[in-house]
Every structure is written in C-alpha cells, then in structure tokens.
Amino acid sequence: MMEMPSHKLLEQMFLDHYKEWCLKSFSYVENMDDAQDVVQNVFIKLLQKENLSHVIDIHKYLNVAIRNESLKKIKKSRETFQLNNQSTEVPSHESELIKGEVSENMLRELEALPEQNKRVFTLCVLEGNKYESAAEIMGITVNTVKYHLKKSFKSLRINLKDVYLWFL
C-alpha cells in the first residue's frame, strides 16, 4: 500500500506522461480533444481524492482509470448521438429483411474463416480479450494472434465490402 502521492509528484507524473496517456485515451475515443479531456478529468478526480491507500501501483491505477474514463466517454457520446438522431419512422418490412440478410452474410463470412482465425477473432473482437489473454488461451504467441486477426479482418473486409455499403 502507498500513501497518497503528493501534489508535486502527481503534477510531475502528469507532465511526464500527459502525451502518452492522451494517446492511450485517443486509441479509444478517436478524438484528441476528447482524449485530452479524459486525461485531465482523471487527474482532477485523483487530486480530489483524499485517500489512495488502496492503490498499490499508481501508474497501473492511472492507466486503468484513463481506459475506464475513455470508455465512459464513448458510451456517453453514443447515448447523446442516439438521442439526437432518433427517428420517429417505424422500420419497414423491407428494412427489416435487409438487416436480416446483412446479419446472415456477416455470420456466414465469420463461419467461413479458417478455424484459427475464427477462434482468435472470437476471443479478441467478440469477447473482448486482450491479445496476451487470447495467446495464453490458445497456446500461441501474441504475434500469432495479431497475424490471425489481420488475416481475419482482411478476409472480412474483402468478402463483406458489398454488405458494408448497405450500412452507408
């Protein structure tokens, strides 16, 4: 356990790692202004806390806090977008058929992937596991996981290009 880091220490950490943490947040929120807001909000919350005695590693704590705050920002943005873009139109029978066909095509293409690619894609993309976790589960290296994901995305991109146009 550690004592609450001094404001000077937190300030120095902020200055030393600000760009790094903004890039980490950017990898989630895909907007640099939002990423900067996330990092600043995390530090404001941290400075407002009186007791961080439960924190063992402040760097890990901050990385997790930035990830979580980024995910909250994404969720909030999606909710705002949905509220602003809600349509009063009732989906037609035709649009429901198109959605069903698109889903079937996507599932068919996923099933057509080679077994290793499909397993890696399922673990990393659909289940949200990290590369390291997927590698450990499958007994392969992280680079092999990345290779299988790259091949899966390439195959899906090529085979679903017509389906993608429906979304546009």
Tokens standing for residue 120: 């890696």
Indicate the length of the chain as a whole number: 168
pLDDT at 156 over 70: yes
pLDDT digits (tens, 9 = 90+) for 63-106: 889 999 999 988 888 777 666 655 555 566 666 666 666 667 77
Residue 3 DSSP symbol: P
- pLDDT for residue 14: 84
Residue extents of the structural domains in the chain = 7-84, 93-167
Assign a CATH topology to domain 93-167: Arc Repressor Mutant, subunit A (1.10.10)
Give the pLDDT confidence of 6-43 residue by residue, as tens digits.
Answer: 677 778 888 888 889 889 888 889 888 899 999 999 88
Cα–Cα distance, 67 to 135 (Å, whole number): 22
CA–CA gap between residue 120 and residue 128 (Å, rounded): 11
Confidence of residue 108 (pLDDT cuts 50, 70, 90): confident
- The CA-atom distances, in angstroms, between 35 and each of 9, 45, 65, 123, 134 are 22, 16, 13, 27, 27
User: How high does pLDDT run on average in the chain?
Assistant: 80
* H or E element in which residue 107 lies: helix 93-112
